[in-house]
Amino acid sequence: MPSRRLDQTASLTAQFNAWQRAAESLQPGGLLDDPQSGWFVTHPLFRLGLTSPTAARWGLRLLDRWCGGLHAHIIMRRRVSDHELRAAAASGITQVVVLGAGFDTSSQHLGSLPVTVFEVDAPSTQRDKRRLLEHQGVQPQWAPCDFERDDLTASLHAAGFDSAAPALVVWLGVSYYLTMPALESTLTKLTKLCAPGSRLVMDYGDPDIVGHDSPRPMVRRVSKSVTRRGEPYRTGMTAAHADELLARHGFRTVTHQRVPELLDRYDPMNKRRLARGDWNAVLTAQRV
Q: Does the pLDDT at position 7 exceed 60?
A: no
Task: Tell me how far apart the alpha carbons of residues 117 and 142 are, in angstroms, rounded to a whole number.
Answer: 9
Q: Does the pLDDT at position 35 exceed 80?
A: yes
Tens digit of pLDDT for each residue in 86-134? 999 999 999 999 999 989 999 888 888 899 999 999 888 888 899 888 8
Tens digit of pLDDT for each residue in 194-215? 999 999 999 999 999 999 999 9
* Alpha-carbon torsion, ordered 279, 220, 64, 172, to 10 deg: 50
Q: Are 178 and 234 in contact (CB under 8 A)?
A: yes
pLDDT band at 136 (very low <50, low <70, confident <90, very high): confident
Classified as helix, coil or strand, 251 is strand
Q: Are 167 and 198 in contact (CB under 8 A)?
A: yes
Q: Does the pLDDT at position 5 exceed 60?
A: no
Among residues of the chain, what percentage have pLDDT more than 70?
A: 96
Tens digit of pLDDT for each residue in 152-175? 999 999 999 999 999 999 999 999
DSSP-derived secondary structure letter, 238: -
Classified as helix, coil or strand, 164 is coil
Is the overall model pTM greater than 0.85, yes or no? yes
Q: Does the pLDDT at position 188 exceed 50?
A: yes
Q: Would you list the DSSP string of 190-231? A: HHHHSPTT-EEEEEEE-GGGSSS--SSHHHHHHHHHHHHTT-
Q: Which CATH architecture has domain 68-287?
A: 3-Layer(aba) Sandwich (3.40)
List C-alpha distances in Å: 180 to 60, 62, 155, 197: 32, 32, 21, 25
Q: Supply the pLDDT for residue 134.
A: 82
